[in-house]
Protein backbone atom coordinates (compact mmCIF):
# COMPACT_ATOMS: atom_id res chain seq x y z
CA UNK A 1 0.00 0.00 0.00
CA UNK A 2 2.75 2.44 0.95
CA UNK A 3 4.14 4.84 -1.64
CA UNK A 4 7.28 6.99 -1.28
CA UNK A 5 7.60 8.84 2.01
CA UNK A 6 6.36 12.44 1.99
CA UNK A 7 8.66 14.90 3.81
CA UNK A 8 6.93 17.83 5.49
CA UNK A 9 8.55 20.86 7.13
CA UNK A 10 6.46 21.53 10.24
CA UNK A 11 7.96 24.99 10.82
CA UNK A 12 6.71 26.83 7.73
CA UNK A 13 3.65 29.05 7.35
CA UNK A 14 1.16 28.41 10.20
CA UNK A 15 3.83 26.20 11.76
CA UNK A 16 1.58 24.55 14.32
CA UNK A 17 -1.04 21.88 14.83
CA UNK A 18 -2.74 22.61 11.55
CA UNK A 19 0.21 21.28 9.52
CA UNK A 20 -0.02 18.04 11.51
CA UNK A 21 -3.79 17.82 10.99
CA UNK A 22 -3.73 18.42 7.23
CA UNK A 23 -0.65 16.34 6.46
CA UNK A 24 -1.60 13.26 8.52
CA UNK A 25 -5.19 13.29 7.19
CA UNK A 26 -3.93 13.43 3.57
CA UNK A 27 -1.25 10.82 4.29
CA UNK A 28 -3.92 8.50 5.73
CA UNK A 29 -6.30 9.09 2.78
CA UNK A 30 -3.70 8.62 0.07
CA UNK A 31 -1.79 5.78 1.74
CA UNK A 32 1.44 7.79 1.72
CA UNK A 33 4.00 7.35 4.52
CA UNK A 34 4.79 10.72 6.10
CA UNK A 35 7.55 12.38 8.08
CA UNK A 36 6.94 15.78 9.66
CA UNK A 37 10.04 17.53 11.04
CA UNK A 38 10.61 20.77 13.00
CA UNK A 39 7.13 20.62 14.54
CA UNK A 40 6.06 23.99 15.92
CA UNK A 41 9.64 25.25 15.61
CA UNK A 42 8.42 28.83 15.48
CA UNK A 43 6.22 28.59 18.55
CA UNK A 44 6.77 29.62 22.15
CA UNK A 45 6.98 25.93 23.06
CA UNK A 46 8.38 23.93 20.15
CA UNK A 47 7.37 20.32 19.66
CA UNK A 48 4.07 18.55 20.14
CA UNK A 49 2.13 20.65 22.58
CA UNK A 50 -0.71 20.23 24.96
CA UNK A 51 -2.11 23.55 23.82
CA UNK A 52 -3.66 23.32 20.45
CA UNK A 53 -4.45 26.27 18.26
CA UNK A 54 -1.97 29.16 18.48
CA UNK A 55 -2.03 28.53 22.19
CA UNK A 56 0.53 30.22 24.40
CA UNK A 57 -1.19 28.75 27.44
CA UNK A 58 0.60 25.67 28.68
CA UNK A 59 -2.48 23.49 28.86
CA UNK A 60 -2.86 20.48 31.05
CA UNK A 61 -1.56 16.98 30.77
CA UNK A 62 -2.09 15.45 27.39
CA UNK A 63 -2.32 17.23 24.07
CA UNK A 64 -4.97 17.42 21.43
CA UNK A 65 -2.23 17.20 18.79
CA UNK A 66 -1.33 13.78 20.08
CA UNK A 67 -4.92 12.65 20.38
CA UNK A 68 -5.51 13.81 16.78
CA UNK A 69 -2.47 11.88 15.51
CA UNK A 70 -3.40 8.81 17.55
CA UNK A 71 -6.93 8.94 16.22
CA UNK A 72 -5.73 8.95 12.60
CA UNK A 73 -3.37 6.08 13.43
CA UNK A 74 -6.26 4.10 14.92
CA UNK A 75 -8.62 4.88 12.02
CA UNK A 76 -6.25 3.13 9.64
CA UNK A 77 -4.24 0.74 11.86
CA UNK A 78 -1.16 2.75 10.95
CA UNK A 79 2.22 3.07 12.64
CA UNK A 80 3.10 6.31 14.39
CA UNK A 81 6.53 7.13 15.80
CA UNK A 82 7.75 10.16 17.75
CA UNK A 83 4.28 11.06 19.00
CA UNK A 84 5.02 12.30 22.49
CA UNK A 85 4.85 15.72 24.12
CA UNK A 86 7.79 17.90 23.14
CA UNK A 87 8.65 15.76 20.11
CA UNK A 88 9.70 17.80 17.06
CA UNK A 89 9.45 14.98 14.53
CA UNK A 90 6.87 12.29 13.78
CA UNK A 91 6.71 9.53 11.21
CA UNK A 92 3.45 7.94 10.17
CA UNK A 93 2.81 4.89 7.99
CA UNK A 94 -0.89 4.50 7.12
CA UNK A 95 -2.78 1.33 6.28
CA UNK A 96 -6.37 0.78 5.12
CA UNK A 97 -9.02 3.11 6.62
CA UNK A 98 -11.65 1.17 8.51
CA UNK A 99 -15.04 2.21 9.81
CA UNK A 100 -16.56 1.27 13.15
CA UNK A 101 -16.38 2.96 16.54
CA UNK A 102 -13.34 5.09 17.36
CA UNK A 103 -12.64 7.13 20.49
CA UNK A 104 -10.30 10.09 20.90
CA UNK A 105 -9.84 11.83 24.22
CA UNK A 106 -7.73 14.97 24.63
CA UNK A 107 -7.90 14.49 28.46
CA UNK A 108 -8.05 18.31 28.64
CA UNK A 109 -10.03 21.14 27.10
CA UNK A 110 -8.29 20.32 23.79
CA UNK A 111 -10.83 20.92 21.06
CA UNK A 112 -13.16 18.14 19.92
CA UNK A 113 -13.81 20.27 16.81
CA UNK A 114 -10.16 20.00 15.78
CA UNK A 115 -10.34 16.22 16.30
CA UNK A 116 -13.37 16.19 14.03
CA UNK A 117 -11.53 18.28 11.44
CA UNK A 118 -8.66 15.81 11.20
CA UNK A 119 -10.75 12.63 11.18
CA UNK A 120 -13.74 13.52 9.02
CA UNK A 121 -12.09 13.44 5.58
CA UNK A 122 -10.55 10.06 6.45
CA UNK A 123 -13.72 8.29 7.58
CA UNK A 124 -15.53 9.45 4.42
CA UNK A 125 -13.25 7.06 2.56
CA UNK A 126 -13.49 4.19 5.06
CA UNK A 127 -14.78 0.71 4.27
CA UNK A 128 -17.92 1.02 6.41
CA UNK A 129 -19.87 3.57 8.52
CA UNK A 130 -18.05 5.22 11.43
CA UNK A 131 -18.95 6.45 14.87
CA UNK A 132 -16.43 8.85 16.41
CA UNK A 133 -16.54 9.46 20.17
CA UNK A 134 -14.61 12.71 20.68
CA UNK A 135 -13.82 13.91 24.20
CA UNK A 136 -12.39 17.24 25.38
CA UNK A 137 -13.46 20.87 25.07
CA UNK A 138 -16.57 21.63 23.01
CA UNK A 139 -16.43 25.38 23.56
CA UNK A 140 -12.71 26.02 23.94
CA UNK A 141 -10.46 28.96 23.14
CA UNK A 142 -8.50 29.14 19.88
CA UNK A 143 -10.59 26.59 18.02
CA UNK A 144 -14.07 26.50 16.50
CA UNK A 145 -16.88 26.06 19.03
CA UNK A 146 -19.06 22.97 18.59
CA UNK A 147 -21.99 25.29 17.85
CA UNK A 148 -20.02 26.68 14.90
CA UNK A 149 -19.32 23.16 13.68
CA UNK A 150 -23.01 22.23 13.81
CA UNK A 151 -24.54 25.54 12.68
CA UNK A 152 -22.07 26.68 10.00
CA UNK A 153 -19.51 24.01 9.03
CA UNK A 154 -22.02 21.12 8.81
CA UNK A 155 -24.56 22.58 6.35
CA UNK A 156 -21.82 23.94 4.07
CA UNK A 157 -19.49 20.91 4.08
CA UNK A 158 -22.47 18.65 3.34
CA UNK A 159 -22.66 20.36 -0.08
CA UNK A 160 -19.73 18.10 -1.03
CA UNK A 161 -22.29 15.27 -1.10
CA UNK A 162 -22.33 13.57 2.29
CA UNK A 163 -24.17 13.97 5.56
CA UNK A 164 -23.04 13.48 9.12
CA UNK A 165 -24.77 13.44 12.45
CA UNK A 166 -23.27 15.28 15.41
CA UNK A 167 -24.70 14.49 18.83
CA UNK A 168 -23.49 16.78 21.64
CA UNK A 169 -23.64 14.57 24.75
CA UNK A 170 -21.85 16.89 27.18
CA UNK A 171 -20.32 20.31 26.80
CA UNK A 172 -16.85 20.92 28.20
CA UNK A 173 -15.00 24.20 28.80
CA UNK A 174 -11.51 25.47 29.48
CA UNK A 175 -9.60 24.35 31.53
CA UNK A 176 -11.28 21.08 32.53
CA UNK A 177 -12.67 19.83 29.22
CA UNK A 178 -14.89 16.85 29.95
CA UNK A 179 -17.14 17.35 26.94
CA UNK A 180 -18.21 14.55 24.59
CA UNK A 181 -19.53 14.62 21.05
CA UNK A 182 -20.53 11.60 18.95
CA UNK A 183 -20.19 11.95 15.18
CA UNK A 184 -21.77 9.36 12.88
CA UNK A 185 -21.19 9.16 9.15
CA UNK A 186 -21.25 6.77 6.23
CA UNK A 187 -18.52 6.52 3.60
CA UNK A 188 -18.91 7.97 0.09
CA UNK A 189 -17.65 6.83 -3.32
CA UNK A 190 -16.48 10.34 -4.24
CA UNK A 191 -16.96 13.96 -3.15
CA UNK A 192 -18.77 16.45 -5.39
CA UNK A 193 -17.11 19.80 -6.09
CA UNK A 194 -18.79 22.91 -4.67
CA UNK A 195 -19.38 26.37 -6.08
CA UNK A 196 -19.91 29.02 -3.42
CA UNK A 197 -19.51 32.30 -5.27
CA UNK A 198 -22.92 33.96 -4.96
CA UNK A 199 -23.35 35.55 -1.59
CA UNK A 200 -26.90 36.87 -1.85
CA UNK A 201 -28.16 39.24 0.84
CA UNK A 202 -28.47 38.68 4.58
CA UNK A 203 -31.97 37.43 5.44
CA UNK A 204 -31.65 36.23 9.05
CA UNK A 205 -29.46 36.79 12.10
CA UNK A 206 -29.79 34.43 15.06
CA UNK A 207 -27.70 32.84 17.76
CA UNK A 208 -27.31 31.54 21.28
CA UNK A 209 -25.67 33.04 24.36
CA UNK A 210 -24.95 30.37 26.97
CA UNK A 211 -23.95 30.02 30.59
CA UNK A 212 -22.97 26.75 32.23
CA UNK A 213 -22.16 25.67 35.77
CA UNK A 214 -22.22 28.31 38.49
CA UNK A 215 -22.52 31.34 36.21
CA UNK A 216 -25.79 33.30 36.61
CA UNK A 217 -28.33 33.33 33.76
CA UNK A 218 -28.14 37.14 33.72
CA UNK A 219 -24.69 36.80 32.07
CA UNK A 220 -26.31 35.05 29.07
CA UNK A 221 -28.99 37.75 28.80
CA UNK A 222 -26.38 40.53 29.02
CA UNK A 223 -24.17 38.99 26.31
CA UNK A 224 -27.19 38.60 24.01
CA UNK A 225 -28.48 42.13 24.61
CA UNK A 226 -25.07 43.74 24.06
CA UNK A 227 -24.60 41.79 20.83
CA UNK A 228 -28.03 42.79 19.52
CA UNK A 229 -27.35 46.48 20.27
CA UNK A 230 -24.03 46.31 18.45
CA UNK A 231 -25.51 44.65 15.33
CA UNK A 232 -28.48 47.06 15.23
CA UNK A 233 -26.09 50.00 14.79
CA UNK A 234 -25.10 48.57 11.42
CA UNK A 235 -28.04 46.37 10.32
CA UNK A 236 -31.34 48.02 11.19
CA UNK A 237 -33.90 46.19 9.08
CA UNK A 238 -33.53 42.64 10.39
CA UNK A 239 -34.83 41.06 13.58
CA UNK A 240 -31.84 39.73 15.53
CA UNK A 241 -32.84 36.66 17.53
CA UNK A 242 -30.19 35.63 20.08
CA UNK A 243 -31.49 33.14 22.64
CA UNK A 244 -29.99 33.21 26.14
CA UNK A 245 -29.47 29.60 27.29
CA UNK A 246 -28.70 27.98 30.63
CA UNK A 247 -26.96 24.69 29.76
CA UNK A 248 -28.61 21.83 31.69
CA UNK A 249 -26.47 20.61 34.58
CA UNK A 250 -26.33 17.04 33.25
CA UNK A 251 -25.19 18.20 29.81
CA UNK A 252 -22.30 20.45 30.77
CA UNK A 253 -19.08 19.81 32.69
CA UNK A 254 -17.54 22.75 34.53
CA UNK A 255 -18.24 26.46 34.17
CA UNK A 256 -18.31 28.52 31.03
CA UNK A 257 -20.05 31.23 29.06
CA UNK A 258 -20.02 32.32 25.47
CA UNK A 259 -22.00 33.38 22.46
CA UNK A 260 -22.30 32.52 18.78
CA UNK A 261 -24.22 34.63 16.24
CA UNK A 262 -25.01 33.42 12.73
CA UNK A 263 -26.02 35.42 9.66
CA UNK A 264 -27.78 33.53 6.88
CA UNK A 265 -28.13 34.81 3.31
CA UNK A 266 -30.69 34.36 0.54
CA UNK A 267 -28.38 31.90 -1.23
CA UNK A 268 -27.74 29.79 1.89
CA UNK A 269 -24.35 31.23 2.86
CA UNK A 270 -23.62 31.23 6.59
CA UNK A 271 -21.33 33.54 8.57
CA UNK A 272 -20.56 33.58 12.27
CA UNK A 273 -19.10 35.64 15.04
CA UNK A 274 -18.39 34.04 18.40
CA UNK A 275 -16.67 34.71 21.67
CA UNK A 276 -16.04 32.94 24.97
CA UNK A 277 -16.15 34.51 28.40
CA UNK A 278 -13.03 34.61 30.52
CA UNK A 279 -12.59 35.38 34.16
CA UNK A 280 -12.75 39.13 34.72
CA UNK A 281 -14.23 40.00 31.29
CA UNK A 282 -17.71 41.48 31.55
CA UNK A 283 -20.61 39.96 29.66
CA UNK A 284 -21.24 42.99 27.42
CA UNK A 285 -17.71 42.83 26.12
CA UNK A 286 -18.09 39.14 25.18
CA UNK A 287 -21.32 39.90 23.29
CA UNK A 288 -19.84 42.89 21.48
CA UNK A 289 -16.73 40.96 20.44
CA UNK A 290 -18.87 38.27 18.77
CA UNK A 291 -21.09 40.89 17.08
CA UNK A 292 -18.08 42.79 15.74
CA UNK A 293 -16.54 39.58 14.41
CA UNK A 294 -19.78 38.76 12.57
CA UNK A 295 -20.05 42.28 11.11
CA UNK A 296 -16.43 42.13 9.91
CA UNK A 297 -17.18 38.81 8.19
CA UNK A 298 -20.18 40.39 6.44
CA UNK A 299 -18.17 43.35 5.11
CA UNK A 300 -15.67 41.51 2.91
CA UNK A 301 -18.15 40.27 0.33
CA UNK A 302 -17.10 36.59 0.52
CA UNK A 303 -19.46 33.59 0.75
CA UNK A 304 -17.66 32.00 3.72
CA UNK A 305 -16.30 33.51 6.91
CA UNK A 306 -12.63 33.51 7.87
CA UNK A 307 -12.95 30.32 9.94
CA UNK A 308 -14.66 28.20 7.30
CA UNK A 309 -12.08 28.98 4.59
CA UNK A 310 -9.35 26.62 5.73
CA UNK A 311 -11.79 23.89 6.83
CA UNK A 312 -13.01 23.46 3.23
CA UNK A 313 -9.60 23.16 1.55
CA UNK A 314 -9.01 19.43 2.12
CA UNK A 315 -12.52 18.59 0.84
CA UNK A 316 -11.98 20.77 -2.26
CA UNK A 317 -8.66 18.98 -2.88
CA UNK A 318 -10.33 15.54 -2.74
CA UNK A 319 -13.46 16.41 -4.76
CA UNK A 320 -14.08 15.19 -8.29
CA UNK A 321 -13.97 18.42 -10.32
CA UNK A 322 -13.45 22.16 -9.94
CA UNK A 323 -14.58 23.85 -6.70
CA UNK A 324 -14.76 27.60 -6.18
CA UNK A 325 -15.31 29.63 -3.02
CA UNK A 326 -15.35 33.39 -2.63
CA UNK A 327 -13.59 34.68 0.48
CA UNK A 328 -12.40 37.77 2.24
CA UNK A 329 -8.64 38.06 2.89
CA UNK A 330 -7.07 34.58 2.65
CA UNK A 331 -5.93 33.53 6.13
CA UNK A 332 -2.60 31.98 7.02
CA UNK A 333 -4.44 28.78 7.99
CA UNK A 334 -5.97 28.64 4.51
CA UNK A 335 -2.63 29.31 2.79
CA UNK A 336 -1.09 26.53 4.89
CA UNK A 337 -3.86 24.04 4.03
CA UNK A 338 -3.52 24.88 0.30
CA UNK A 339 0.27 24.44 0.43
CA UNK A 340 0.03 20.91 1.88
CA UNK A 341 -2.97 19.89 -0.25
CA UNK A 342 -0.85 20.77 -3.27
CA UNK A 343 2.33 19.14 -1.93
CA UNK A 344 0.77 15.90 -0.67
CA UNK A 345 -2.45 15.38 -2.67
CA UNK A 346 -1.23 17.12 -5.85
CA UNK A 347 -4.45 19.15 -6.10
CA UNK A 348 -4.16 22.41 -8.09
CA UNK A 349 -5.27 25.67 -6.46
CA UNK A 350 -5.57 29.16 -7.93
CA UNK A 351 -6.19 32.13 -5.61
CA UNK A 352 -7.11 35.36 -7.36
CA UNK A 353 -8.73 38.70 -6.57
CA UNK A 354 -12.46 38.67 -7.33
CA UNK A 355 -13.09 40.62 -10.54
CA UNK A 356 -16.80 41.23 -10.00
CA UNK A 357 -17.91 44.86 -9.85
CA UNK A 358 -19.54 44.59 -6.44
CA UNK A 359 -16.21 43.37 -5.02
CA UNK A 360 -14.06 46.06 -6.64
CA UNK A 361 -13.63 48.13 -3.49
CA UNK A 362 -13.32 45.09 -1.20
CA UNK A 363 -10.61 42.63 -0.28
CA UNK A 364 -12.39 39.68 -1.93
CA UNK A 365 -10.82 36.57 -3.47
CA UNK A 366 -11.81 33.46 -5.40
CA UNK A 367 -10.13 30.22 -4.33
CA UNK A 368 -10.43 27.71 -7.14
CA UNK A 369 -9.32 24.09 -6.91
CA UNK A 370 -9.04 21.28 -9.42
CA UNK A 371 -9.71 18.36 -7.08
CA UNK A 372 -8.01 15.00 -7.49
CA UNK A 373 -11.27 13.02 -7.70
CA UNK A 374 -10.37 10.72 -4.82
CA UNK A 375 -12.32 7.44 -5.13
CA UNK A 376 -13.15 5.20 -2.18
CA UNK A 377 -11.39 1.90 -2.96
CA UNK A 378 -13.70 0.03 -0.57
CA UNK A 379 -17.03 0.84 -2.27
What is the residue-wise DSSP string for 16-68? SHHHHHHHHHHHHHHT--EEEESTTTTSSS-SS-SS-TT--S---SS-HHHHH
Q: How confident is the model at residue 351 (pLDDT cuts 50, 70, 90)?
A: very high
User: What tens digit of pLDDT does each residue of 292-305 get?
Assistant: 999 999 999 999 99
Instruction: Please tell me the pTM assigned to this model.
Output: 0.94
**Which residues have C-beta within 8 Å of that of residue 279, sequence separation ≥ 6?**
none
The secondary structure element, H or E, covering residue 112 is: helix 112-124
Strands 130-136, 90-93: pairing is unpaired
Q: Is 173 within any annotated ligand binding site? A: no
User: What tens digit of pLDDT does each residue of 82-92 get?
Assistant: 988 888 899 99
pLDDT at 116 over 70: yes
Q: How confident is the model at residue 198 (pLDDT cuts 50, 70, 90)?
A: very high
What is the model's pLDDT at position 56? 36
Q: How confident is the model at residue 1 (pLDDT cuts 50, 70, 90)?
A: low
**Which residues have C-beta within 8 Å of that of residue 248, sequence separation ≥ 6?**
none
**11-25, 148-162, 227-241: range with lowest mean pLDDT:** 11-25
What is the model's pLDDT at position 54? 40
Q: How far apart (Å, rounded) are the C-alpha atoms in residues 31 and 267?
A: 37
Domain spans in the chain, listed from the N-terminal domain onward? 202-300, 304-372
Q: Is 309 within any annotated ligand binding site? A: yes
The rounded mean pLDDT for the chain is 93
Q: Is 308 within any annotated ligand binding site? A: yes
Cβ pair 24, 72 in contact under 8 A: yes
The alpha carbon torsion through 321, 322, 328, 330 (nearest 10 deg) reads 80
| Size of the chain in residues | 379
User: What is the SS3 assignment for 130?
Assistant: strand
* DSSP structure class, residue 5: P
Of residues 65, 102, 300, 333, which has the active-site annotation? 333
pLDDT at 59 over 50: no
pLDDT at 374 over 70: yes
Considering the segment(s) 202-300 as one domain, its CATH architecture is 2-Layer Sandwich (3.30)
What is the residue-wise DSSP string for 322-342? EEEEEESSPPHHHHHHHHHHH
pLDDT at 352 over 50: yes
pLDDT at 208 over 90: yes
77 CB burial (10 A radius; 0-12, 13-18, 19+): exposed
Q: Is 26 within any annotated ligand binding site? A: no
Say whether 333 is catalytic. yes
Q: How confident is the model at residue 69 (pLDDT cuts 50, 70, 90)?
A: very high
* Mean pLDDT across 124-147: 95
Q: 242 pairs with which residues across the strands? A: 207
Amino acid sequence: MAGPRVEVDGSIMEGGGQILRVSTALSCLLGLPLRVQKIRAGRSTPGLSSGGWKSKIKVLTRPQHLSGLEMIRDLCDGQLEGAEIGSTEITFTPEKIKGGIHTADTKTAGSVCLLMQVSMPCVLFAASPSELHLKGGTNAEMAPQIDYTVMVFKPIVEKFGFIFNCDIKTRGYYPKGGGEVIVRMSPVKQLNPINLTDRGCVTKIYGRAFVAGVLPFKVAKDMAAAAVRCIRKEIRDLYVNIQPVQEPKDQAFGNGNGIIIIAETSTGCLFAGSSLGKRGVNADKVGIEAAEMLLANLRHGGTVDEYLQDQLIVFMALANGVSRIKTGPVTLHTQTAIHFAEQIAKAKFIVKKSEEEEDAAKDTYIIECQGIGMTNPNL
